[in-house]
Structure 1
Amino acid sequence: MNRLYNWIKKPVLDTVTLYWELLKVMVPIMIVVRLGVEFGLIEHVSLIFTPFMDMVGLPPEAGIIWTTAMLVNIYAGMVTLVALLPEAPMNVAQITVLGSMILIAHSLPIEQRIVQKAGPGLIATTLLRIVGALVYGAILHQIYTAFNMLQENATIDWLPSTDADAGWLQWTQDSVISLFSIFWIILILILALKVLELLKVTDLISKALSPILGLMGISDKAIPVTMIGVMLGLGYGGALILREAREGKMSPQDIFLSLSFMCLFHSMIEDTLLIFALGADLSGILLGRFLFAFAVLFVLGQMVKRLPDQVFNRLLFRQA
């Protein structure tokens, strides 16, 4: 019993700490979004995103959700989605498209700074994530529409059903329930990651994916560090690559390709499960996203090999 208690204690404490930090961000965002809905501001702001969201088959309001995730983090995008879903109901395909775009492009101010410090150009890698997210979203939209897949209305079972015209009292009650539910989602997620680590599942996934990275032009020296970023997140992978770069253990081309792949596909388990909890389908947020990242990096790897060093350093890389 004591062993079980000690095993659970740290994940619970980690969840409480993370949740408290997230509350400081999530609660103000929920209030701002509610005020925007109440005074009709959301409708006007959404017009800015209409052309881009039309391209990926999403309602204009989805642009606000994605932008919030890009500028803050996935959790901020998550609560914005929860707040706007009554105003802009979506089907499962649309939730999957939006979730996939969030997974590719989120937390840009923090994550792109990490990438930049390691050497890859800030503009090049940021455009890779934003344009990549839009292109992948458009591809998913066309596939799901052409094959009439995932067209049923999306429902998030662990959230209360809030009407679009709900009053402030009902909205407050539902928001409290939503925030309380998010705590348990985070706790379950952290416990699941701990179980997967205990069962060595992450190690097995890393071994299975490592040979594929070589096909993208990433050298053997860079593959282990790249896999850390793929499994644990861009922050971990980027920090390790920064260390390797400072010690001269990785070539600039390896650093660029490794971080470019991580830009499109990182935190494979944690972030994917979080978006999955919002009702997205794994075909888009996991399998399709990996295939897209592989295809982009395969082409990018061939291009980087053929670029003269002078052009590569001017356009895509600066010495860390």
Structure 2
Amino acid sequence: MNTQVPFLSGLWKEIFGVTWTLYKIMIPIIIMIKIVEELGGIVLLSQWLSPVMALVGLPSEMGLVWAATIVTNLYAGLVVFMSIDAELTVAQVSVLGTLLLLAHSLPLETAVAKKAGVGIVITLMVRLGGSLLMAWALHQIYQEGDLLNYPAEAIWQHVPTHDPSYITWAVDQLKSLAMIFVVIAVLITFLRLLKWLGIEKLMAIVLKPILSILGISRDATNLTIIGITLGLSFGGGLLINEAKRGHISPRDIFVSMMLLSLLHSLIEDTLLILLIGANFTTIFWGRIVFSLLVVSLLVLVIKRIDECVCLKYFYKKISE
């Protein structure tokens, strides 16, 4: 009983801490989106993003979801998704989920990569280009094979009201924020359960041989696995510390950060996208395979490039 009290206390502190941090980001975004909508900006922005969304088989308004996710995080993007009345197939939600998973929180996570010595341009190219490439490829596969062409059933969904009053809108947003709290509470509890069951350690065992094939050193492998399972900020922060101490080469840091850019927070982010009705195989195994292929190609490229050129254009040494 005595051991349960600190556990529950720590769990609730984590849930409230994460929720409050997200609310501080999301509430201004929700208000901003409402103002933009009232001014007719949603229609205009949808028109601008329409060609990109059409490329991957999505309605133009889904560009707003991706834009919000790129600038902030997955949770904020999903709030925008919930506020849009659109009926999507499982294929479309899976394509959208791919965009969100591979390219989100770019201002923050690009800054982390830069501190690790990886250039901003190459990070953005890999994340934005990679997300569009995978989304386009999935769209072609789904379209040609007529796969997953049935309505998506979202666990986390929003039932729009047709009352145009601001009070009704505010109540709807409060309901959405309350749902986010519930989702975070369940998610964090589930993640702790997975950790207790040793799922994270099992993933580490499976991933180690794969990372060694990519040429990532033993020292960088463990830190990369932390990032893959827990998030880029966790893994990236550890990699930065080790790089400053000179324990890991800039080339290893680059390869690790490129992999983390596409493949991080594998458990939490996957669960979030599953909540809106995406296909598990696509967003979990598909993401793993695609990320490993892209990074393998990058490894082949930098192996053929002189170290001085790499240090100039791809990565650099960082010091204490």
Give the alignment's TM-score, normalised by structure 2: 0.94
Q: 1:60: which partner in 2? A: 60
Report matched runs for 1:95-110 at 5 Å.
95-110=93-108
Counterparts in 2 of 1:165 and 1:285: CA distance versus 1, 3 Å: farther
- 1:241-280, Cα deviation, whole Å (9 max, x unpaired): 1111111111121111010000010011111111211222
Report matched runs for 1:115-154 at 5 Å.
115-154=113-152
Q: 1:317: which partner in 2? A: 315
Structure 2 CA distance for aligned equivalents of residues 91 and 229 of structure 1: 31
Shift of 1:163: 4.5
Structure 2 CA distance for aligned equivalents of residues 164 and 301 of structure 1: 53
Structure 2 CA distance for aligned equivalents of residues 92 and 32 of structure 1: 29
* 2:191 aligned residue (193, 217, 231): 193
Structure 2 CA distance for aligned equivalents of residues 158 and 57 of structure 1: 22
Q: In percent, how many aligned pairs have the same letter? A: 37
In 2, are the aligned partners of 1:160 and 1:177 still within 8 Å (CA)?
no
Alignment of 1:113 with 2:111, yes or no, is yes
Q: Which moved more, 1:31-40 or 1:51-60?
A: 31-40
In 2, are the aligned partners of 1:71 and 1:107 still within 8 Å (CA)?
yes
Q: 1:277: which partner in 2? A: 275
Structure 2 CA distance for aligned equivalents of residues 96 and 39 of structure 1: 31
Structure 2 CA distance for aligned equivalents of residues 220 and 123 of structure 1: 27
Q: 1:300: which partner in 2? A: 298
Q: Which moved more, 1:28-37 or 1:39-48?
A: 28-37
Q: Which amino acid aligns with 2:101?
A: L
Shift of 1:62: 1.5
Q: 1:202: which partner in 2? A: 200
Shift of 1:37: 3.3
Q: Which moved more, 1:191-200 or 1:151-160?
A: 151-160
Shift of 1:80: 1.1
SS of residue paired to 2:159? coil
Q: 2:239: which partner in 1? A: 241
In 2, are the aligned partners of 1:33 and 1:83 still within 8 Å (CA)?
no
Structure 2 CA distance for aligned equivalents of residues 289 and 222 of structure 1: 21
In 1, are the aligned partners of 2:113 and 2:236 still within 8 Å (CA)?
yes
Structure 2 CA distance for aligned equivalents of residues 63 and 215 of structure 1: 36
Report matched runs for 1:245-264 at 5 Å.
245-264=243-262
Q: Which amino acid aligns with 1:54?
A: A
Q: 1:212: which partner in 2? A: 210
In 2, are the aligned partners of 1:159 and 1:177 still within 8 Å (CA)?
no
Q: Which moved more, 1:145-154 or 1:289-298?
A: 145-154
Q: 1:75: which partner in 2? A: 75
Which stretches in structure 2 are left out of the alignment for 5+ residues?
none
Q: Which moved more, 1:254-263 or 1:21-30?
A: 21-30
Structure 2 CA distance for aligned equivalents of residues 103 and 228 of structure 1: 17
Shift of 1:166: 5.2
Give the alignment's TM-score, normalised by structure 1: 0.94
Shift of 1:175: 2.2
Q: Which moved more, 1:147-156 or 1:244-253?
A: 147-156
In 2, are the aligned partners of 1:217 and 1:302 still within 8 Å (CA)?
no
Shift of 1:138: 0.6
Shift of 1:83: 1.4
In 2, are the aligned partners of 1:30 and 1:83 still within 8 Å (CA)?
no
